[in-house]
Amino acid sequence: MKSIVQIFASRRMFVMLLLGFSAGIPYALTAGTLQAWLTTENVDIKTIGLFALVGIPYNWKFVWAPFMDRYFPKFLGRRRGWMILTQAGLAAAIAGMALTSPSMNIHTVAIMATLVAFFSSSQDIVIDAYRTEALEKEEYGAGSATYIMGYRLAMLVSGALALAMADHYSWKTVYLFMSATIVVGVIGTLIGPEPETPRAPNTLRSAVIDPLREFFGRRGAWEIVVFILLYKLDTNLATALMTKFFLDLGFTKTDIAAVTKVFGLIATIVGTLIGGAMIPKMGMKRSLIVFGILQGATTLLFYMMVHLGANYWGLIATIAGENLAAGMGTAAYAAFLMAQCNQKFTATQYALLTSLMAVPTKILSAPTGYLQAAVGWDHYFIISTLTGIPALLMLARFDRWNRPADDEEGFVSAAPARS
């Protein structure tokens, strides 16, 4: 067995870092960074809230995931060929956003942002499949950690760096620069080894129907779906209008970049590592409960900020606490999703589950602007916290969902810890 140093020092881990970076760049450009751009262009909060809908492709990527599995380019192999194509489309779409103006044509901005989300979610499909196939089972943990590290670093670039740049350069320059950063993912694609992939499905039926039939034929499948939709709803709602909230309090874009992005990145990485280390000891069910409670509790820090105002230390405490708890919750959440995938249908089932995972962020967050306008910031954050309770109550049904897992080395079982 390889040592942990050998695993992390391998070429495959470097490729995971680069691909994680490419996957992480687009998110903020259609979320927080775009929110800041719209705010500086005096777009009203209701419209800003509706812009959460541009991320709908993340929710529906399972629809075309089977087609990307069944059909593929004739160059660079089954996975890397699609990676290059999606990365090219992604760079072009981000550049397209740079050439638009929210104050002159808000609809064009929305269309280009939706294209960014489409190519980004398509890239996610093929990278997720590539990670599963290119890594050995003993490398899954290190590969996931390295991928997340690259992803979070990219969010720092497209979040903190983008906001800081926007204080000195035009938004057009900012988005053109972000488009150029996709070359990092292209390098990862070109130097990455082509994995020995399972044989492509012979028919669309085997690519589309069989994975869905297997999943929804399980006991408690629909309960699992509802749980996935609800588990991170509280933190997603609390942070949906975060950039707008902090700008309204009086913080500058540089303040937000320095604290929400830098401190948030560090806290999220630390939380993810803590969560990953605690899950094997606590078991999946207990981890989901404990981390879920922490997620909900830390959303109340935003309520505290309503009354503190533009307090810099309060901002640091809020961002550090919320991201630490969210990182722990994400570690358990991701492990839970992995445990639900049948290894015969990983690409399509993982795309399905991560599509559901994106619903609270994209679709359920769309009316947040209307909710905030109706109840104000203080009640908005209280409501956000309360939305986390149903998922915790559903965990009483966890044992019913616990199908026999593929408990081979390198996989995380959904089974609770044994005493």
Q: b/e for 301-317, b at 16 or more Cβ within 10 A?
A: bbbebbebeebeebbbb
Report residue 118 as tokens: 């489409």
Would residue 82 count as lying in a domain?
Answer: yes
DSSP-assigned letters across all residues of 18-58: HHHHHHHHHHHHTTHHHHHHHHHTT--HHHHHHGGGGGHHH
What pLDDT is attached to residue 258?
Answer: 80
Query: Higher pLDDT residue, 183 or 342?
Result: 183
Q: Looking at the structure, do residues 2 and 79 belong to the same domain, yes or no?
A: yes
Return the pLDDT at 137: 61
- In which band, very low, low, confident or very high, does the pLDDT at 386 lie, cut at 50, 70 and 90? very high
Last residue of a domain, one of 154, 179, 200: 200
Q: Flag whether 279 is in a domain.
A: yes
pLDDT tens profile 226-278 = 898 889 888 888 888 888 899 888 888 888 878 876 788 889 888 877 876 77
Q: What pLDDT is stored for residue 24 in this prediction?
A: 93
Same domain assignment for residues 144 and 262: no
* Other Cβ atoms closer than 10 A to 250: 10
pLDDT single digits (tens) 53-67? 898 888 788 888 888
Residues 13 and 116 in one domain: yes
Q: Do residues 223 and 150 share a domain?
A: no
- Give per-residue pLDDT as tens, 67-126: 887 777 878 877 888 999 999 999 999 999 999 989 888 999 999 999 999 999 999 988
Quick one: 103 and 221 in the same domain?
Answer: no
pLDDT at 412: 37
* Block residue for tokens 């104050």: 103
Residues 129 and 216 in one domain: no
* Domain end (from 150, 172, 200): 200
Give the pLDDT score at 200.
Answer: 62
Answer whether 0.95 is exceeded by the pTM.
Answer: no
* C-alpha–C-alpha distance, residues 330 and 280, integer Å: 15
Q: What is the pLDDT of residues 336-384, one digit of tens each?
A: 877 777 767 777 777 778 777 766 666 666 788 888 888 999 899 999 9
Number of domains in the chain: 2
Sign for the CA dihedral angle at 163, 164, 170, 176 comes to negative
Q: Do residues 224 and 319 share a domain?
A: yes
Q: What mean pLDDT value characterizes the chain?
A: 83
What pLDDT is attached to residue 9? 66
pLDDT interval class at 413 (50, 70, 90): very low
Task: Identify the domain boundary among 165, 200, 235.
Answer: 200
Residues 88, 140 share a domain: yes
CATH, residue 358: 1.20.1250.20
Residues of the chain above pLDDT 90, percent: 31
> 194 and 213 share a domain?
no
**Do residue 270 and residue 282 come from a single domain?**
yes
pLDDT band at 197 (very low <50, low <70, confident <90, very high): low
CA distance 279 to 207: 33
Given a cut of 90, whether residue 409 has pLDDT beyond it is: no
Domain that holds residue 75: 1-200
74 in a domain, yes or no? yes
3-state secondary structure of 388: coil
**Burial track 191-218 (b if 16+ CB lie within 10 A, e otherwise):** ebeebebbeebeeeeebbebbeeebeee
